C-alpha cells in the first residue's frame, strides 16, 4: 500500500544547488557583455532570479497538488492543447534572430516549446498508464503516443527548433522503453526517422553548415565551426581546477552567448574538470532520485510521470553537454536549471515539482 512520506530532501537539495549554481555562473559568464551592451552587468542575473522565483512557486503548487488530479482527462488534454496552441501561435509572430520560438510578454519572452515538454510528459504518462491498467500491455498506447509526439515535434520543427523536437522524440522513446515496448518497434521507428532527419538536415543551409562543422570544425573556424572550436578551447583551458570563478577569457566576446547554451564551457574553463564533474554528478543525483521515485511510485501513472519528468531533465542535460563537447552537432538546447532562460527554468522546476510530489509516496514493502 502507498503511504505519505516527506519529500525527497536529496533530490530537492540537488535541484536547488543546480539553480543557485546556475545563477552564479550566469552572472560570471554575462556580467562583462551585459555591462557593455546594456550598462547593467546584473541584467541577466536579475531576470534569472525572477524566473527562479516563478519556477519555485510553480513547483510548490505542483508539489502540494494530489498528483492523481493531474490524471484527469481535461487536465491532460487541456494542458497539451494549450501549450501546443501557444507553440503554433509563435509561428505567426515576427521572427527573432531568424526563428519564431518566442511570444513577447512585456519585459520577458515566453518559449512555449519548453512548457510543451512538460505537457507531453503528462500526456504520455497518462496514455501509457491507462493502456497498461486496462489491457496489461502498454504497447497499446504506441500509436497515440507517436501521434501526439509527432504533432508536438512537427510544430516545433517549423519554428525552427530541431533540437527540441529531437528531445520530444527521445522522451517518447524512453517512456515506451520503460513501459516494455518491444525492440522491433524502436527499429521500425528508427528506419522511419532516418529519411525524415536526412531531409530536415539537408533542406536548410544553416543545418547543413552545422553538420559539416561538426564533422570538421576547423574547415571553417571563423564561420560555422566557430562555436564548437571556442567551446572546446574554453573547456580545455580549464585543466583540472580551472582558472578561478570569473577567470574565463572565452566569455570576453569569443564564445557567443556564453551564459545560455554554452554555459558548461565556462564552467569547465573557470572551475576545471573538478567543477564540471561535480555538475555532472549533480545531474546524476537527479537521475538516481527521480528513477527511484518512479520505481517506488504507488501506481502506473505516477511511475510513468516521474520517469518522464526525470528523462525530460536528464536527456536535455545530456544533449547540452554533448553539444558543448562537440560530440553532436550544435543545437540550441539549454542546460536545465543552469543556462540562462526563464521558460526553460520554469519548465525544469515544474518537472522538479512533479518528482518531489511523487517522492512523497511509496509502496510499503511486504514482509
Average pLDDT over residues 63-82: 94
Give the three-class secondary structure for 139. helix
Q: What is the DSSP letter of 101?
A: -
What whole-number distance in Å separates Cα of residue 72 and Cα of residue 202? 42
> Which of 13-27, 52-66, 210-224, 297-311 shows the lowest mean pLDDT across its residues?
210-224
- What's the gap between Cα 251 and its chain centre? 23
Percent of all residues in the chain with a pLDDT value above 70, rounded to a whole number: 95
CA distance 334 to 315: 11
- 289: pLDDT strictly greater than 80: yes
Q: Which of 343, 340, 347, 329 is nearest to 258 (CA)?
A: 340
Query: Is-contact 131 138, C-beta < 8 A?
Result: yes
Higher pLDDT, 248 or 19: 19
Q: Residue 366 pLDDT > 50, yes or no?
A: no
Mean pLDDT taken over the chain:
89
CB-count exposure of residue 213 (10 Å: 0-12, 13-18, 19+): buried
Closest CA to 123 of 152, 158, 87: 152
Task: Give dist(CA 320, CA 163) in Å, integer.
Answer: 10
pLDDT over threshold 50, residue 367: no
- Residue 253 contacts residue 35 (beta carbons within 8 Å): no
Q: What is the mean pLDDT of residues 293-318?
A: 94
Q: Is the pLDDT of residue 182 over 90?
A: no
The pLDDT of residue 363 is: 62
Q: How far apart are CA 303 and CA 129, in angstroms?
A: 9
Pick from 16-25, 246-255, 272-281, 307-316: least confident: 246-255
Which pLDDT belongs to residue 91? 93
In this prediction, residue 365 carries a pLDDT of 41
Q: What is the pLDDT of residues 97-127, one digit of tens each?
A: 788 999 998 888 999 999 999 999 999 999 9
pLDDT confidence of residue 5: 64
More confident residue, 360 or 121: 121
Q: What ranges do the domains of the chain cover?
A: 2-363
Average pLDDT over residues 6-22: 93
Q: What is the pLDDT of residues 144-160, one digit of tens each?
A: 999 999 999 999 999 98
The percent of residues above 90 in pLDDT, for the chain, comes to 60
Instruction: Determine the average pLDDT of the residues in 324-330.
Output: 86
Q: In this predicted structure, what is the pLDDT of residue 204?
A: 72
Q: Does residue 319 register a pLDDT over 50?
A: yes
In terms of Cβ atoms closer than 10 Å to its own Cβ (0-12, 13-18, 19+), residue 342 is buried
Amino acid at each position: 500500500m502507498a503511504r505519505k512520506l516527506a519529500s525527497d530532501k536529496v533530490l530537492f537539495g540537488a535541484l536547488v544547488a543546480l539553480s543557485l549554481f546556475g545563477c552564479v555562473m550566469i552572472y560570471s559568464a554575462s556580467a562583462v557583455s551585459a555591462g557593455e551592451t546594456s550598462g547593467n552587468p546584473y541584467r541577466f542575473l536579475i531576470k534569472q532570479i525572477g524566473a527562479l522565483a516563478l519556477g519555485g512557486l510553480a513547483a510548490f503548487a505542483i508539489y502540494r497538488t494530489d498528483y492523481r488530479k493531474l490524471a484527469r482527462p481535461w487536465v491532460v488534454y487541456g494542458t497539451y492543447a494549450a501549450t501546443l496552441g501557444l507553440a503554433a501561435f509563435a509561428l505567426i509572430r515576427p521572427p527573432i534572430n531568424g526563428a519564431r520560438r518566442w511570444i513577447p510578454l512585456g519585459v520577458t519572452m515566453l518559449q512555449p516549446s519548453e512548457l510543451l515538454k512538460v505537457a507531453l510528459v503528462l500526456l504520455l504518462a497518462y496514455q501509457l498508464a491507462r493502456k497498461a491498467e486496462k489491457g496489461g500491455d502498454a504497447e497499446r498506447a504506441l500509436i497515440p503516443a507517436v501521434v501526439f509526439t509527432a504533432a508536438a515535434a512537427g510544430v516545433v520543427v517549423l519554428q525552427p527548433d530541431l533540437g527540441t523536437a529531437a528531445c520530444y522524440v527521445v522522451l517518447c522513446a524512453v517512456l515506451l522503453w520503460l513501459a516494455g515496448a518491444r525492440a522491433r518497434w524502436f527499429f521500425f521507428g528508427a528506419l522511419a526517422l532516418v529519411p525524415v532527419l536526412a531531409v530536415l538536415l539537408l533542406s536548410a543551409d544553416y543545418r547543413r553548415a552545422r553538420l559539416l562543422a561538426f564533422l570538421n570544425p576547423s574547415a571553417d573556424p571563423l564561420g560555422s565551426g566557430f562555436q564548437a572550436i571556442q567551446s572546446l578551447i574554453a573547456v580545455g583551458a580549464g585543466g583540472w581546477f580551472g582558472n578561478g570563478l570569473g577567470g574565463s577569457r572565452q566569455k570576453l566576446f569569443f564564445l557567443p552567448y556564453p551564459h545560455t547554451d554554452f554555459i558548461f564551457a565556462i564552467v569547465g574553463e573557470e572551475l576545471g574538470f573538478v567543477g564540471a564533474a561535480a555538475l555532472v554528478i549533480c545531474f546524476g543525483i537527479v537521475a538516481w532520485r527521480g528513477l527511484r521515485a518512479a520505481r517506488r511510485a504507488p501506481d502506473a501513472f505516477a511511475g510513468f510521470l516521474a520517469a518522464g519528468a526525470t528523462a525530460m531533465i536528464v536527456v536535455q542535460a545530456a544533449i547540452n553537454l554533448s553539444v558543448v563537447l562537440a560530440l553532436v552537432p550544435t543545437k540550441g538546447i539549454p542546460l536545465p536549471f543552469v543556462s540562462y532562460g526563464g521558460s526553460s527554468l520554469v519548465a525544469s522546476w515544474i518537472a522538479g515539482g512533479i518528482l518531489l510530489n511523487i517522492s512523497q509516496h511509496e509502496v510499503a514493502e511486504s514482509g
